[in-house]
Amino acid sequence: MNLHLSLTPLISLIAGILILIMPKLLNFIVAIYLILVGLIGIFGVSSFRFH
State residue 50's pLDDT score: 55
Please give the single-letter amino acid code of residue 42. I
CA–CA separation, 1 and 18 (whole Å): 29
Contact 37, 6 (CB under 8 A): no
CA–CA separation, 3 and 24 (whole Å): 34
CA–CA separation, 33 and 19 (whole Å): 12
Instruction: Note whether residue 19 is domain-resident.
Output: yes
Instruction: Note whether residue 2 is domain-resident.
Output: no
Instruction: Note whether residue 37 is domain-resident.
Output: yes
Instruction: Note whether residue 49 is domain-resident.
Output: no
Instruction: Note whether residue 1 is domain-resident.
Output: no
Instruction: Note whether residue 51 is domain-resident.
Output: no
State residue 47's pLDDT score: 57
Instruction: Note whether residue 17 is domain-resident.
Output: yes
The residue range of the domain holding 14 is 7-43
At 1-51, the pLDDT tens digits run 555 557 778 878 888 888 888 888 888 888 888 888 888 788 876 655 555
Q: How many domains does the chain have?
A: 1
